[in-house]
Structure 1
């Protein structure tokens, strides 16, 4: 938590993009999320991708650790959210957006019951030791049959200290082996990321279905 608070305080938030994610735009329609459904966005920050989802009629529920990230999202959207304090989180709501600020890995089961979820920068923000707890939160905050779109970032972990932490295809299959169907939709070589000094970088897009 302190790490991410420091990143926000010093504006080291390079994971945020000024445009929508191309892989999300291409592949979201193919996962079959119900029309107008509730979509969970873990570790959401101020991601513009949430606006894209809302523009397609979805109710967006973001989970965020740092209050500054929640404030930045609503401020930049020109929205004044209603704020409600709960035992394990603070709820900020305005229009199609509800952002829950608190321990994103420690919410009470059933706090959210989403029909779908979207992860571009959550699982890769977590070290391997925290990913099992993350997947368990997905189980607890989604309905049976919920569908998810996961976008990964993979490289030789020894070549760089995360975050982002490497998330390889085999890791996805390992963490989602129980209680999920896993389908790889695309795998890309990211030549435009080579300035990081890494020998190889790939990104995969997965459709996940909670069984």
Structure 2
């Protein structure tokens, strides 16, 4: 899977992964991070998720990274905000009050480019990446955020039934990537009503990663 996979998804408007409301797991469990007001939350592989609008509505600041520029153009259009667009190294920066979105390959986003963040909210990144990329991604994420605490949402199902994304992420894999650097708490694990794509049994897990 390469960048063209996601570019084609957005160009074809084949974005069934985009939800029409803020993720219930975020709404229910965001408080577990115990962040002060006006915290800066990093949302990797953010697309145009309504989770961003929800975080902004709570008074938090949002930083995001997204490969597909069309997604971010639509994000700001739906937020009814005109971004300032600039170039920062290998990525473009779309910024406005309380929001900075880096458009390009997340591996081209450095800690210096990103700036300080208070927490990470990963609902769509880890599960979107194939197995051979996930180890590199998790190491990079910890590096650029200085191991900021995370609210991580994963799904688990029989991977032999379909190709991802989303990819199935087991509890063992979460531990493999993060247990050396975080204290991990599984705060929710529930069966998804309707299953995955209406076909396959799937369990959604919400993790709190703290150091």
Aligned residue pair count: 208
Runs in 1 of length 4+ with deviation above 3 angstroms? none
Larger deviation, residues 163-172 vs 101-110: 101-110
Task: For structure 1, list consecutive stretches of 5 or more residues without a partner in the other structure.
Answer: none
For 1:171, the equivalent position in structure 2 comes to: 173
Cα distance in 2 for residues equivalent to 1:99 and 1:76: 14
Task: For structure 2, list consecutive stretches of 5 or more residues without a partner in the other structure.
Answer: none
Deviation at 1:54, TM superposition (A): 1.0
User: So what's the TM-score if we normalise by structure 1?
Assistant: 0.93
Cα distance in 2 for residues equivalent to 1:10 and 1:181: 40
For 1:5, the equivalent position in structure 2 comes to: 7
Cα distance in 2 for residues equivalent to 1:191 and 1:176: 28
Give 1:153's match in structure 2, choosing from 145, 152, 155: 155
For 1:86, the equivalent position in structure 2 comes to: 88
CA contact (8 A) 1:187 1:203 kept: yes
Deviation at 1:19, TM superposition (A): 0.8
Cα distance in 2 for residues equivalent to 1:195 and 1:105: 29
Cα distance in 2 for residues equivalent to 1:194 and 1:39: 28
Cα distance in 2 for residues equivalent to 1:195 and 1:207: 26
Alignment RMSD, CA only? 1.4
Deviation at 1:132, TM superposition (A): 1.1
Q: Deviations over 1:134-178 (max 9, x none)?
A: 11222122235x221111111011101111111111111111122
User: So what's the TM-score if we normalise by structure 2?
Assistant: 0.93
For 1:69, the equivalent position in structure 2 comes to: 71
3-state SS in 2 of match to 1:179: coil
Closer, same or farther in 2 for the Cα pair 1:8/1:194, shift >3 Å? closer
Matched, 1:29 2:35: no
For 2:206, the equivalent position in structure 1 comes to: 205
Cα distance in 2 for residues equivalent to 1:140 and 1:13: 30
Larger deviation, residues 106-115 vs 153-162: 106-115
